[in-house]
Amino acid sequence: MLYLQVLINGLVLGGLYACIAAGFSLVWGVLNVINILHGTFIVIGSYAAYFAYVYFGIHPLFSIPIAALILFFIGYALQSGFINKVVAAPVLTTLTLTFGLDLFLNNLLIVAFKADYRKVTLENPLGVLSLSGITVPVDRLAAMGLALLLTGLLFWVLDASRVGRAIVAVRMDREAAALMGVKVRKIYALTFAIGAVMAGAAGSLISLIYPISPLNSGMFLGKAFIICVLGGLGSVSGAMVGGLALGVLESFGALAFGPEHAVTLSFIILILFLLFRPTGIMGKRGYE
Amino acid sequence: MKRGFWILAVVIVLFLPWVGNNYFIRLATIMMLYCVLALSWNFIGGLTGYPSFATAAFFGLGAYAGGVAQGQGIRMYIAWIIGAALAALFATGLGLAILRLRGHYFAIASLVVADVLREIVNSTTNLTGGGMGLNLPILKLGVDAQAKLFYYCMFAIALLTLFTAAYVMRRPLGFGLGCIKQNEDAANIIGINATIYKTIAFGLSAVFVGGAGAFYASWVSYIEPGDVFDILFSIKPIVMVLLGKTGTLSGPILGAIVFLVLEELVWRNFLTFHAGVLGLIVVFLILYLPDGMLAIQYRRWFAWRKS
């Protein structure tokens, strides 16, 4: 029974992880840029949810559009203003640039909101779902459902919408897409903005579970990276599988070794996957 | 003329502690430390072209190895050597695993290492003091004498790093690393054992940083995980080398000096926005000075003025 409970907890966490990683994976896959800012984007989303709840009483599940809107603009501006200028440069250049932007933005958050940990404390929690000894808070369950829904929505956008197909086309072959009349720079900016939106949405949902602080951004970034490697880079389904896998692994890892070794455990898994199965659990690449 | 310039620089550096107060000596020591970090990163990042973010891991490992060793009653200088050796050993083992990765994968794998080590140090409270930090024995020396002693020791480490870098760059090893940077597959085809070369470069990028970490522990005589595994220790050397010029000998040194000057003049004045200003400088550097200061064609400026 304990194992089942741990499994459920892991899956609930994993749904949120999938949402965290989907945007990161999209940006990495399409732009070939590791977005160090992703963790800070998530924190901004959490703050949006926090203040929406504290000042306007909006439940974090419903403040997703607010967070998404804010991050869309931040993402679009950063990409078209800075990152587009070096998008074809070597890894070190793009990585250092997003690192610099992250240092700035994260420090801005610390100055604006202090490094104190805040928490969304719901006045009327939705209660707890109990089924033959297994308990899950309904709020968390709803957050997980919504996270998976959003990830599914991203999948649909990429799969069926015109913009989504343009993004996929740019990913497959930048030059060919440009010849077909796709405005590559605009698509880059849009892709980055969508990645930021996913981060913001994930941040809103995460505010229900994690305490909120700018200091958490590194942790989220690390998780996003591990999920991408676990699930396979550059596909939404990979992010989904990787996220759920990491959630379950972390839950059982905490049970077996204690929660203080979570980072070490994920790192070992990361290295093993990178060495022996670099294409991830799904074993395929891309949005094809 | 070039040799004369180097000798002049060494002479100036040797007499630096006699012209300023202890604050000045402290700055000069940090400058030497930065030179070590920048020159070390240059082995793997500049010469080999692998974007390593592991400097903080080596630094922290060296600091804790040295700190724990000194706590057991081992002499300070031996403790530094232990820190350097352990960092080099660790880098070699780690390198064999993660140097097979390229590009982004390598960068992030190296970035996570510092987090892992910090967590391990935090959880082994008996040995390292965990989050409480580690106190080191304090030298029985006057303040002035201590400052000068540490300055000269750091200078010696920096000089050692510089000589090693100069030596490597003139040897087949340096040439091989350059080949790997340009095209690793081609390097393998012409008979360069890329795995061994890369691992050696990674080890070289760790050994002096580990020594400097152990030195740092003795110098400040109190270390804690969040301090010595600070991610900024990984970022700063990269910024310094980019500021100067990658893959050269004088680039990292120039970058380290300019970086320190900037640090003292600019963002020391932003107490709560220190990292933010550093971030802005990084962004500016990447966008407007991507090849570093040594790549600027100064002569063209003067030619333009004449005409």
Instruction: Give the chain B residue nearest A272 (alpha carbons).
Output: B97
Which positions in chain B touch A104 (Cβ < 8 Å)? 275-276, 279-280, 283
pLDDT confidence band for B1 (50 / 70 / 90) = low
Interface check for A139 against chain B (CB to CB < 8 A): the answer is: no
* The two three-digit tokens of residue A272, written as one number: 């093993």
Neighbours of B222 (CB within 10 A): 13
Q: Are A248 and A10 in contact (CB under 8 A)?
A: yes
Check pLDDT > 90 for residue B295: no
Task: Quote the percentage of chain B above a pLDDT of 70.
Answer: 96
Q: In degrees rounded to 5, what are phi and psi of residue B223?
A: -130, 150
pLDDT-derived band of residue B64, with 50, 70 and 90 as boundaries? Answer: very high
Render pLDDT for B73-86 as a digit per residue (tens, 0 to 9): 888 899 999 999 99
Sign (positive or negative) of CA dihedral A248, A251, A254, A259 = positive
Out of B45, B112, B275, name the one closest to residue A222 (CB).
Answer: B112
The answer to whether residue B185 scores a pLDDT higher than 60 is: yes
Per-residue pLDDT reduced to its tens digit, A136-159: 888 888 889 999 999 999 999 988
The per-residue pLDDT for A1 is: 76
Q: Determine contact, residues B187/B180, Cβ cutoff 8 Å.
A: yes
Q: Which amino acid is at B108?
A: I
CA distances from B275 to A90, A106, B241 (A): 24, 9, 18
Portion 162-201 of A in contact with B at CB < 8 A: none
Cα angle B262, B268, B272; round to 5:
130
Domain count, chain B: 1
Which residue of A35, A85, A87, A92 to mutate against B (max B Cβ within 10 Å)?
A: A92
Does B307 score more than 50 pLDDT?
no
Per-residue pLDDT at B300 exceeds 70: no
Which of A31, A32, A38, A99 is the best substitution to test chain B (most B C-beta atoms within 10 A)? Answer: A99
Q: Rg (Cα) of chain A, in Å, rounded?
A: 18
B107 to chain A: which residues are within 8 Å by CB?
34, 91-92, 95
Q: How far is A272 from chain B (nearest CA, A)?
A: 9
Look at B287 and A92 and tell me if their CB atoms are within 8 Å.
Answer: no
Instruction: Report the distance separating Cα A88 and Cα A97, nearest Å.
Output: 13
| Average pLDDT for A67-73 | 94
Interface check for A95 against chain B (CB to CB < 8 A): the answer is yes
Q: If you write DSSP's letter for every residue of B83-131 in order, what string do you get?
A: HHHHHHHHHHHHHHHHTTS-HHHHHHHHHHHHHHHHHHHHH-HHHH-GG
Question: Residue A135 pairs with which residues in a beta bridge?
Answer: A130
Q: Which of the four pLDDT bands, split at 50, 70 and 90, describes residue B154?
A: very high
Could A92 and B51 be called an inter-chain contact, meaning their C-beta atoms sit closer than 8 Å? Answer: yes
- Shortest Cα distance, chain A CAs vs residue B93, angstroms: 13
Flag if B108 and A271 touch (Cβ within 8 Å): no
CA A206 vs CA A12, A198, A209, A250: distances in Å: 11, 12, 5, 16
Spatial distance between the Cα atoms of B51 and B111, rounded to a whole number of angstroms = 10
Asked whether the predicted pLDDT for residue B301 surpasses 80, the reply is: no
**Residue B279 pLDDT more than 50?**
yes
pLDDT band, residue B167 (cuts 50/70/90): very high
How many beta-carbon pairs below 8 A join chains A and B?
Answer: 110
* A131, pLDDT greater than 80: no
* Cα distance between residue A264 and residue A10, in whole Å: 18
* Closest chain B residue to the Cα of A85, Cα to Cα: B287
Q: What is the pLDDT of residues B196-214, one digit of tens each?
A: 999 999 999 999 999 999 9
pLDDT band at residue A288 using 50, 70 and 90 as cut-offs: very low
Of A6-10, A112-116, A161-165, B179-183, which gets the smallest average pLDDT?
A112-116
Tokens 């760790």 appear where? B206
Write the residue in A82, A92, A107 that is nearest to B273 by C-beta. Answer: A107
Cβ B283–A82 below 8 Å, yes or no?
A: yes
User: Within an 8 Å CB–CB cutoff, is residue A101 touching chain B?
Assistant: yes
Residue A48 at interface with chain B, using a CB cutoff of 8 Å? no
Is the pLDDT assigned to residue A287 strictly greater than 50? Answer: no
Which positions in chain A touch B110 (Cβ < 8 Å)?
Answer: none
Min mean pLDDT across A24-33, A258-267, B53-62 is at A258-267
Task: List CB contacts of A119: < 8 A, sequence separation 6 or more.
Answer: A211, A212
Scanning A229-258 for CB atoms below 8 A from B yields 229
Query: Other C-beta atoms within 10 Å of B16: how many?
Result: 19
User: In sequence order, what E strands does chain B have?
Assistant: 134-135, 222-223
For B142, the token pair is 């006057």
In chain A, what are the helix, strand and coil shares in percent, each to the nearest 5?
Answer: 75, 5, 20
CB contact under 8 A, B119 and A110: no
Cα–Cα dist B133/A123, whole Å: 39
Query: Contact A270/B109, CB-based, under 8 Å?
Result: yes
Q: What's the pTM value of the predicted model, to 2 decimals?
A: 0.88
Query: Terminus-to-terminus CA distance in chain B, angstroms?
Result: 29
Q: How many helices (H) and strands (E) are present in chain B, helices listed first?
A: 15, 2
Q: Which of B53, B104, B241 to mutate to test the interface with A (most CBs of A within 10 A)?
A: B104
What is the tens place of the pLDDT at every residue in A162-180? 999 999 888 888 888 889 8
**B221 DSSP assignment:** S
A107 touches chain B (CB under 8 A): yes
Write out the residue range of the structural domain in which residue B73 sits. Answer: 2-306
Identify which of A91, A100, A108 has the shortest CB distance to residue B104: A91
How many CB atoms are located within 10 Å of the residue A182 CB? 18
Q: Using CA of residue A104, residue A22, residue A197, residue A113, what is the dihedral sign?
A: negative
Q: Other C-beta atoms within 10 Å of A74: how many?
A: 21
Q: Which residues contact A3 (CB under 8 A, 6 or more apart)?
A: none
Q: Which residues on A lie below 8 Å from B116 (Cβ)?
A: 263-264, 267
| Chain A residue with the nearest C-alpha to that of B102 | A91
Mean pLDDT confidence for B237-242: 92
Residue A100 CA to residue B281 CA, distance in Å, equals 8
For residue A129, the distance in angstroms to the closest alpha carbon of chain B comes to: 35
d(CA A218, CA B123): 19
More confident residue, A162 or B305: A162
Whole-number pLDDT of residue A75: 94
Lowest-confidence segment of A75-79, A121-125, B234-238 by average pLDDT: A121-125
pLDDT in tens, A225-284: 889 888 887 788 888 999 999 999 988 888 888 777 777 888 888 888 877 877 777 765
Is A108 part of the contact surface with chain B (CB cutoff 8 Å)?
A: yes
| DSSP reduced 3-state for A147 | helix
**pLDDT-derived band at B304, boundaries 50, 70, 90:** low
- What's the token pair of residue B82? 């232990």
Partner-chain residue, chosen from B51, B109, B286, that has the shortest CB–CB distance to A100: B286
This model of the complex carries an ipTM of 0.83
Give A-chain residues touching B235 at CB under 8 angstroms.
96, 99, 103
Contact list in B for residue A250 (CB cut-off 8 A) is none
Smallest Cα–Cα separation from A234: which of A147, A129, A155, A124?
Answer: A155
Task: Specify the amino acid at residue B210.
Answer: G
- CA distances (Å), B51 to each of A69, A81, A97, A229, B234, in order? 34, 24, 13, 18, 11
Q: Could you tell me which residues come within 8 angstroms of residue B85 by beta carbon, excluding any fewer than 6 positions away? A: B207, B210
Pairing of strands B222-223, B134-135: antiparallel
**Per-residue CA distances from A103 to A44, B24, B79, B141, B144 (Å):** 14, 28, 34, 39, 36
Apex A234 CA angle, B183 and A74, nearest 5: 100
| Per-residue confidence band for A68, with pLDDT thresholds at 50, 70 and 90 | very high
Residue B20 has pLDDT above 80, yes or no: no
What average pLDDT does the segment B11-30 reach? 82
Query: What is the overall mean pLDDT for chain B?
Result: 87
pLDDT attached to residue B200: 94
Tell me, yes or no, if A96 comes closer than 8 A to chain B by beta carbon. yes
Q: Which residues of chain B lie closer than 8 angstroms to A27, CB-CB?
A: none
Which residue among B112, B238, B283 sits closest to A270, beta carbon to beta carbon?
A: B112
Q: At residue B269, does pLDDT exceed 50?
A: yes
Residue B246 confidence (pLDDT): 86
| Run of H or E residues at B136 | none
